[in-house]
Amino acid sequence: MTKIAILGTLTAMGLAAGAASAATLDDVKARGELICGVNPGLTGFAAPDASGNWSGFDISLCRAIAGAVFGDGNKVRFVPTTSETRFTALASGEVDVLVRNSTWTFSRDADLGLDFAGVNYYDGQGFMVHQDLGVTSAKELDGATICIQTGTTTELNLADYFAVNGMSYTPVAVQSNAEGEQQYLAGACDAYTTDASGLAATRAAFATPADHIILPEIISKEPLGPATRQGDSQWNDIVRWTLNALVAAEEYGVTSANIEELSASSQNPEVRRLLGTEGTLGEMLGLDADWAANAISVGGNYGEIFAATIGEQTPIGLARGLNAQWTQGGLLYAPPFR
């Protein structure tokens, strides 16, 4: 896409953002449900089953936000968005929040009329190849054809990586992960590149996952997080602090199993403020005192959600890595609840 075309797209999105309501919380409450923009189908992160019931890591955050607002994690509707339509869907008001494997970048934050509300998964871009190709390193991909989703940061990272390493490649543009998977399996490209978590999720859904290798190189930083429309700080605070509540709950040992007990008896002031038995944090957000307790109750704390959807005991098999708590050598760190 040319620079002129990019600027035209951004301008259109900015105008669309201006048309959307600023008081998202009021709109969500009046509607009686949260509308969450999600990936159209990425196993482990956001995917519907045969009955249309959505589940996954990102889906759990959507449900937690609904829990914080309504005290009911089922009061949420999921709207599938592609990599090219996701930001327009948010800016236009089609969705209230976007939780869709979206990288927090300078230009998206400053120029798209969006506000990111934190990082729910620290990721990086990788490559997947067929095992029988005999490739063991991304440095061996000189001259390769590579499937790449358009409108993504991975598209730009790919160009940078090959330029820096003096290699050439032929891009095969795809519009979605589903199309990328299809083209890759059909042999239309030698390698498929996207976030490493996305590669693991995609490979897990293959009939023979062992026939495909995720190469060791991680070529970028991809801090993935939820986004809201710019100009609605109250709503962004609600999304931000719901995510923080899930992270803090894991640090303080608050789980879906003991949350009622801790709500009634914990003597830890930070836990009491988190669960709304002390202080007025909920009131500051325009929510009930037990907003965080309700969010945590939906699917558990961050660690419980991670383990249930994408963790090492799931078909996705992701280790915590950078997404471990700061006390365990990771990057997860919730600001104080005070």
Rounded-to-integer distance, Cα 237 and Cα 148, Å: 33
Quick one: what percent of the chain has pLDDT higher than 70?
93
State mean pLDDT over 241-246: 98
Q: What are phi and psi of 164, to 5 degrees?
A: -60, -35
User: Residue 231, Cβ neighbours under 10 Å: how many?
Assistant: 15
pLDDT tens track for 317-338? 999 999 999 999 999 999 999 9
Residue that wins the pLDDT comparison between 3 and 224? 224
State mean pLDDT over 172-184: 90
List, in order, residues 6 or more apart from 181 with CB less than 8 Å away.
192, 202, 205
List, in order, residues 6 or more apart from 190 with CB less than 8 Å away.
129, 130, 133, 135, 141, 144, 145, 146
Q: Can you give the pLDDT at residue 183?
A: 95
User: What's the whole-number average pLDDT of the chain?
Assistant: 92
User: Residue 291, Cβ neighbours under 10 Å: how many?
Assistant: 26
Residue that wins the pLDDT comparison between 4 and 175? 175
pLDDT confidence band for 21 (50 / 70 / 90)? low
Q: Can you give the pLDDT at residue 4?
A: 33
State mean pLDDT over 101-110: 93
Q: What is the pTM for the complete model shown?
A: 0.89
Where do we find the tokens 């992960």? 177
Quick one: what percent of the chain has pLDDT higher than 90?
86
pLDDT tens track for 29-40? 999 999 999 999
Q: Can you give the pLDDT at residue 178?
A: 86
List, in order, residues 6 or more apart from 129 with CB less than 8 Å away.
135, 141, 190, 191, 192, 212, 213, 215
Residue 62: pLDDT above 80? yes
Residue 26: pLDDT above 60? yes
Q: Can you give the pLDDT at residue 226?
A: 98
Rounded-to-integer distance, Cα 95 and Cα 46, Å: 16
Residue that wins the pLDDT comparison between 106 and 16? 106
pLDDT tens track for 204-242? 989 999 999 999 999 999 999 999 999 999 999 999 999
List, in order, residues 6 or more apart from 44 with CB less than 8 Å away.
56, 57, 197, 200, 201, 204, 309, 310, 314, 315, 316, 318
How long is the chain? 338
Residue 78: pLDDT above 70? yes
- In three-state secondary structure terms, 163 is helix
Q: Can you give the pLDDT at residue 64?
A: 98
Q: Can you give the pLDDT at residue 177?
A: 85
Q: Can you give the pLDDT at residue 10?
A: 43
List, in order, residues 6 or more apart from 256 with CB less than 8 Å away.
296, 297, 299, 300, 301, 304
Q: What is the CA radius of gyration of the chain?
A: 20
**Which residues does residue 35 pair with via DSSP β-bridges, in sequence order?**
77
pLDDT tens track for 255-314? 999 999 999 999 999 999 999 999 999 999 999 999 999 999 999 999 999 999 999 999
Residue 77: pLDDT above 80? yes
pLDDT tens track for 115-166? 999 999 999 999 999 999 999 999 999 999 999 988 788 888 999 999 999 9
